[in-house]
Chains A and B, each alone.
Chain A
Amino acid sequence: MSTVTDSLLKVSNLAIEFDTDEGQVRAVDDISFSVQAGQTLGIVGESGCGKSVTALSLMRLLPQPMGQIVSGSIEFEGKNLAQASIKEMEKIRGARIGMVFQEPMTALNPVKTIGKQLIESLLLHTKMSADKAIQAAVAMLDRVGIPSPDIRIAEYPHQLSGGMRQRVVIAMALICRPSLLIADEPTTALDVTVQAQILELLKELQDEMGMSVMLITHDLGVIAETCESVVVMYAGKVAETGTVYDIFDKPYHPYTRGLLNSIPRLDSPSKSVLNTIEGMVPGLLDLPSGCRFQNRCPHADETCTARAPTLDARSATHEVSCHHWLNLAPHKVS
C-alpha cells in the first residue's frame, strides 16, 4: 500500500531464507506491506505461501540457526526490528507486540497454572507488584469472558475447553496492552460457533485498546469480516494487496480470482461444478521461472515464463503483481 500516513508497522522488501539439506530456500521473497494504527491487516494464502514465516520474522522468532532475514526492514514504533538486538526484542515481544497462535494447547505451558502464565509478562515488562499483577490478571480473564475468573486463575490449561484456552491465550497476549497483535490462524482449530465468539471478542478488544491486528488465515470469510486491508500471498511473494473491497470486489490477480471462485458458498446451487485452480502450489525448491503462479495460471504466456512481474499500483490502495492485469477485465466474483 502506497499511502503510509500513520502506519504502525512497515515491512519493506523483506526476504527470508532457510538453510535446508537441499540448499538455500527463499521462503519469503521481497515482500512489503504496512499495518495502519488501529486497523486490521489480513494476510491470506495457502499452506506454504510464507504467511506464518512472515509473522514469526516480525517477532524475530524464526527457527535458529536455519531461518534468517537476508534483506529488508521491519519498522515498528521507530525501530528497525530486522536489525534489533536480542535484548531490544525481549522488551518488545509481549509488551508492544502480542501474539496468538493457532493451537492454544501448544501456546500454554501445561504444568503452570494459567494465573502464573498471565502475570509472567506483567512482572517482566512492568514494575507491578505480584498482588497487583494477580488483580490485573483476574480482570483480564473476566474481560475475555472466562466465567468465575478468580477460581479459574488457579487452574491448569487442560482443565479448560478449546475455546476457553484460546481466550486465555488472548488474555496473555493483551495483558500488557501491546499496540500490535499478530494472530496466526487464531480460530482455525475452533468450531464455527466458538470462532464467532472469539472473532467478536478480538474486535471488541481492538476497539477498546486501539491496537492494530495482523491476522493470518486461509479463510477468506474471516478476512472479509474482520479486515480493513488484505495481502494475498502466493509462494513467498505478494500477489495482490489492497483494501478488503479492492480484493473482494475488484480482484485483478488470477490467483486471487481463482481463490475467490473456488470456495463453496452457502447460496450457490448444490453439486454445481466449482471453479478450481489447476495443479498445486509449487515447492520452494522447484519454483517455476518468471511469475511463480505461471504454471497454474489460465492467462500465462511467454512473458510470464521469461520474467517475474513487479507489484503495479492500480490505485492508491490497490497493487497487483501480474503482467496481464491491465488486460484482465475488472471482475466481480459471484
Chain B
Amino acid sequence: MSEFASSTVVQPEPLLEVNDLKMHFPVKEGILMKSKRYNKAVDGVSFSIKPGETLGLVGESGCGKSTLGRCVVDLYKPTSGQIKFEGQDVALLPKSDKLAFRRNIQMIFQDPMESLNSRHTVGDIIEEPLIIHKMGDALWRKKRVLELLDIVGLPARSVTRYPFEFSGGQRQRIGIARAIALNPKLIVCDEAVSALDVSIQSQILNLLVELQREFNLSYLFIAHDLAVVKHISDRIAIMYLGRVVETASAETIYSGNKHPYTRSLLSAIPIPDPHHKPDRIVLQGDVPSPINPPSGCTFHPRCGHCEAVCRSEVPRLRNLESAAHRLSCHVDLIS
C-alpha cells in the first residue's frame, strides 16, 4: 500500500448507531390499572459510537441514561427508533444472528455484588458466557478463565472462590473479566466505578483504558460523575429528562460547552483544591418528572436564560460548527 493511499482520511463505520430511540413505560394507575400516561424515560435520542471509541453518557438520576444503556444491550425492547450494530438493524436480526450480536455487546453493572451470582464460584461466573455461546471444550474454557483472571489482575486461585470473599474493587474486576470473556466489540458500563472508593476507582479506570487499547473496545460509559466521564471518554453526551441536550468531544464539553445545563452541571462539581473559588450556577428546584415533563424545552423551568420560545417550542438537536458538536437549545450562549 502506498503512503498516499493510506493517508486519505477514511471515516470508520460507526460500530453502534442509535436513531431517534424512544422508550416509554406505561404508568399503570386507577382501579383498572389502565395506562393512560407514559413515563417517557428515553424520548428521541440519537448517537453513534465508532470502533475503539468511548462515548460518555452523563446526566442526573432519572434522566434515562440507564434505560438507554439497557435498550442498547437489548434488555428492553424500545417503543420506537432504531439501533444499528455494525450497520444492521438489531430489531430485524433473525434469531440465529441474535446470539452473535449479544456476544459482541456486553455490560458491566454498578454493584458487582448484585450482578454476580453469589452461589457460583468466580470460575463458574466467568466461564458461563463461554458455555452459553458454546465456545471451546472444557479444557480450553478453563485455560481461558485463567487467562481472563490474569488480564484483569486477579490471582489464579480466585477460580474456586466465591464473590463474597472479594472486596468491591476485586468484584468489579470479576465483572469485567466476565464482560470481556467473549471478546466483545462494545461494552456498556453502567455506573461501573460509582460504588468504589477513590483509590480503587482509579485502579479500575486504568484497567478499562488498558483493555480498550489492547482489544480495541468501544465503551458506552454511563455515569453521573462528570470528572470520571471526562477522564475516560473521547466524546460526551449530556442527557436531561430523556433527551440529549449537548454532545461534543470531552475537551469541548469541558471548555467550549454551550448548553446552560452542561454549564451548571460542570460548575456544580466540587473541585479538590481549596484555592479554587467556585463560580457556581446553582440550579433552582429538582429534575421534573418524566411522566409530566414541562412544555417546550424541558429544562426551561430551571434555566437562567429562558425566553418565551423556550416555553413553547421543543429545541432540536442541531449541529454547531460541525456534526462533532451538537446542541439542543434556542439560546446561543457566548462562551
Contact = CB atoms under 8 A, between A and B. Distances in A.
B283 interface: yes
Contact of A192 (B60, B199, B200, B233): B60
Contacts of B54: 271
B299 to A, nearest CB: 11
A200 interface: yes
B205 A274 contact: yes
A273 B208 CA distance: 11
Interface in A193-250: 193-197, 199-200, 218-225, 244-245, 248-249
Given A192-B265, A193-B60, A271-B231, A46 B198 contact: yes
Contacts of B205: 264, 274
Nearest to A267: B254
A222 B266 CA distance: 14
Contacts of A136: none
Nearest to A275: B202
Contacts of A244: 274
A196 B282 contact: yes
B199 A248 contact: no
Nearest to A255: B199
Interface stretch (A73-81, A176-184, A276-284, A317-325): A276-284
A164 interface: yes
B250 interface: yes
Interface in B182-221: 197-203, 205-206, 209
B228 interface: yes
Contacts of B268: 192-193, 195-196
A223 to B, nearest CB: 7
A218 B198 contact: yes
A245 B274 CA distance: 7
Given A195-B268, A262-B199, A263-B202, A273 B209 contact: yes
Contacts of B232: 264, 270-271
A279 to B, nearest CB: 9
A186 B232 CA distance: 27
A201 B94 CA distance: 56
Max chain B C-beta neighbours (<10 A), residue from A218, A222, A264: A264
B114 interface: no
B209 A271 contact: yes
Nearest to A272: B231
A280 B206 contact: no
B264 interface: yes
B286 A200 contact: no
A327 interface: no
Contacts of B202: 262-264, 274-276
A163 B280 CA distance: 18
Contacts of B228: 264
A266 interface: yes
A266 B286 contact: no
Contacts of A199: 270
A244 B201 CA distance: 23
Contacts of A276: 199, 202-203, 206
Most B CB contacts (10 A, CB to CB) among A46, A164, A196, A199 go to A196
Nearest to A258: B199
A191 B282 contact: no
Interface string A33-75: 0000000000000110000000000000000000000000000
B198 A224 contact: no
A248 B274 contact: yes
B227 interface: yes
B254 A266 contact: yes
A193 B276 contact: no
Nearest to B193: A264
5 contacts: A196-B280, A220-B272, A262-B199, A273-B206, A276-B206
Contacts of B115: none
A277 B199 contact: yes
B226 interface: yes
A109 B269 CA distance: 31
Given A218-B198, A274-B205, A268 B286 contact: no
A62 B217 CA distance: 47
Given A192-B226, A218-B198, A271-B232, 18 more contacts: A47-B168, A191-B61, A191-B224, A192-B265, A196-B283, A225-B276, A225-B278, A260-B272, A262-B198, A263-B198, A266-B226, A266-B227, A266-B271, A270-B250, A270-B251, A273-B209, A274-B206, A280-B199
B273 interface: yes
A161 interface: yes
Contacts of A161: 286
A280 B167 contact: yes
B230 interface: yes
Given A46-B199, A195-B268, A197-B283, A264 B234 contact: no
A221 B198 contact: no
A259 interface: yes
Contacts of A164: 286
Contacts of A194: 60, 286
B272 A163 contact: no
B301 interface: no
Contacts of B198: 46, 218, 220, 259, 262-263
Q: Which of B170, B226, B273, B278 has the most CB of A within 10 A?
A: B273
Top 7 nearest A-B pairs by Cβ distance? A221-B270, A264-B231, A262-B202, A191-B60, A274-B202, A46-B197, A277-B199
A265 interface: yes
A164 B203 CA distance: 35
Contacts of B274: 224-225, 244-245, 248-249
Given A46-B197, A262-B198, A264-B228, A193 B270 contact: no
A71 B203 CA distance: 37
A41 to B, nearest CB: 14
